[in-house]
Amino acid sequence: MALGAKTLFEKLFAEFGEQGWWPVTEKSESIPTYKTRSALSAQQKFEVCTGAILTQNTSWGNVEKALQNLKKEKMLSCSALAKAKRKKIANLIRSSGYFNQKAERLQLFCRHIEKQHNGSLKKMFSLPTAELRKELLSLKGIGPETADSIILYAAGKPVFVVDAYTKRLNERLGLSKANDYSSLQGFFESALKKDARLFNEFHALIVRQCKETCRKNPFCGNCVLRAECHYL
């Protein structure tokens, strides 16, 4: 019998506890978690969007350095990035890899907010979820995972984020037969209460599990899911 989504969440939560996601640069401010979620500031929401673009196929550590560089230069804002020279942005985000592409994508995103939403993420996030998602996907460099990360972690709306970790976990656990983005997203969303805090914590837990245990070369020895796993 395959593992259900809810059981998976419970096992991971019991093992790891709250993850405190999404990471932002101001660690001093309270970080949203599953049980005690506080609203993000406008600045934190913008940082989440920026991080979501910069972390495409890249480790988070490299992204953090880029975010710090932007912040130091007072460039971690929508209006500043919209106006800046592409080269300057590329230099500041060098550590995150693909820096030319990402500089363009980040700037296009910021210019879109400036022009279409008067520089206000809040205004864009007030769109119905389906429209917001469609609009994000229309931007160059924003695919399904980046769009959904922004919708969930910045806008706080309940969409389930599917990433490489989610797919790997599915391949090994056999949760859902289909492993493509939208099937997998549907699998989780239909099995769970549509609660942004739950989706937030769940995705963070999947990342934790896959970084520590269910890695490409997995450490199955102490895995809490080994009873249900047909990878072994």
Partner DNA sequence: TACCAGGTCCTCG
Partner DNA sequence: CGAGGACATGGT
Please report, as ranges, the residues that interact with DNA according to CB under 7 A.
21-23, 51-52, 55-62, 65, 94-95, 97-102, 139-147, 149, 153, 163-165, 207, 211, 215-216
In the complex with DNA, which residue's Cβ is closer, 55 or 176?
A: 55
In the complex with DNA, which residue's Cβ is closer, 194 or 211?
A: 211
- The nearest distance, CB 105 to DNA, in angstroms, is 8
In the complex with DNA, which residue's Cβ is closer, 2 or 100?
A: 100
**Contacts made by residues 182-186, CB under 8 angstroms, sequence distance 24+:** 182/144, 185/148, 185/159, 185/160
Which two three-digit tokens encode residue 117? 């939403």
- The nearest distance, CB 56 to DNA, in angstroms, is 4
DSSP sequence for 128-178 = -HHHHHHHHHTSTT--HHHHHHIIIIIS--------HHHHHHHHHH---S-
47, 60 in Cβ contact below 8 A?
no
- The nearest distance, CB 1 to DNA, in angstroms, is 28
- The nearest distance, CB 213 to DNA, in angstroms, is 12
What is the spatial distance between Cα 11 and Cα 197, in angstroms, rounded to a whole number? 17
In the complex with DNA, which residue's Cβ is closer, 59 or 118?
A: 59
